[in-house]
A and B are shown apart, each in its own frame.
Chain A
C-alpha cells in the first residue's frame, strides 16, 4: 500500500541536541511538507518542498532545517536553536501536478518529540 511513513513514533531530545525526524513516501508525489501541531492550535507549516533539491520556509521555520535529496524523502532536523521543540510533528505529501490547487495532502502518523 502506498503511504507516508514517519519514524520514530516517539522521540526524546536532550537540551542542546539536534534530532532528525524521518519522512518517507512511496506515493510518487512531488510536493512534501512538514507541520507542527500543538494542543489547541492548528497545524503550522514549517517547511515545504515542491520538487527535489528545492524547499521553502513556511510560517515557523526558525530552529528547523530540511533537505530534499530524493523524491521519496524529506527529513526534518530540529536544531538546538528551536527553544520550544516539544510538539507533534506531521509530514505530508501531495501530487503537485495537473491542477496544483486541487490536490489533497496525505499525512503520516506523526512523531511526538519531547524534551528530557
Chain B
C-alpha cells in the first residue's frame, strides 16, 4: 500500500541547534514534494516545494532535500528558535494538485 511516514514522536531540540525532520514514502513516484508548517488550531502554511530533479532547496534558515532513490525527504531548520515550534507536514503531489499528507512531526525548540 502507499504510505507516507513521518516520525510521530515529537522532536525536542535546544535553541540554536539544527532540527532535522524526515519524510519517507513507499509505493509513490512523486514528481514534487511539499513541506508545510501547522500551528495548533490553525491551517497548514506552505513552506517549500522541491522537484524530483532538485537534490536540495533552500529558503532562509530552511533546507529540504529529496532523494528519489531512498524515497526520502529531509527538512532542516538551522539556528532553530522557540518560534519554530510547530508541527511540520510533508505532502506528495500525486495528481492534478492532489496532495497526500504525512501525519506530521511536532518540533519543540527549548530556549
Check A18 for interface membership: any CB of B closer than 8 A.
no
Asked if A107 CB lies within 8 Å of chain B CBs, one says yes
- Chain B residues with CB under 8 Å of chain A are 4, 8, 31-32, 34, 41-46, 49, 51, 89, 93, 96-104
For the A-B complex with A45-B98, A96-B97, A109-B41 known, give 18 more contacts whose Cβ atoms are closer than 8 Å.
A4-B43, A35-B101, A40-B8, A42-B4, A42-B89, A43-B89, A43-B99, A50-B97, A90-B43, A101-B93, A101-B96, A102-B51, A104-B34, A104-B46, A104-B49, A107-B43, A108-B43, A109-B42
A contact residues around B34 at 8 Å (CB): 104
On chain B, the residues within 8 Å of A101 by CB distance are: 31-32, 93, 96-97
Encode contact with B along A28-45: 1 for CB under 8 Å, 0 otherwise.
000100010000111111
Q: Is A92 an interface residue (CB 8 A)?
A: yes
Task: For chain A, residues 5 to 48, give those with C-beta under 8 angstroms from any C-beta of chain B.
Answer: 6, 31, 35, 40-45, 48
Partner of B101, one of A6, A43, A50: A43
Interface size class of A (residues with CB under 8 A): 20 to 34
Query: Do the beta carbons of B46 and A102 come within 8 Å of each other?
Result: no
Q: Are A100 and B96 in contact (CB under 8 A)?
A: yes
Evaluate contact between A110 and B98: CB separation under 8 angstroms: no
* A103 CB-CB contact with B under 8 Å: yes
Q: Tell whether, in the assembled complex, residue A41 and residue B103 are in contact, meaning their CB atoms are under 8 Å apart.
A: yes
B43 and A102 contacting across the interface, CB-CB below 8 Å: no
Given A109-B41, A109-B43, CB of A103 within 8 Å of CB of B101: no
Query: Do residues A106 and B89 form an inter-chain contact, with CB atoms below 8 A?
Result: no
Q: Could you tell me the distance in whole angstroms from the C-beta of A73 to the nearest C-beta in chain B?
A: 17
A65 touches B (CB below 8 Å)? no
Report whether A110 and B97 are in contact in the complex, using a CB–CB cutoff of 8 Å.
no
- Shortest Cβ distance from B102 into A: residue: A42
Cα of A102 to Cα of B43 in the assembled complex, Å: 20
A105 touches B32 (CB 8 A): no
Closest chain B CB from A7 CB (angstroms)? 13
Q: B42 near A110 (CB under 8 angstroms)?
A: yes
CA distance A94 to B97 in the complex (A): 8
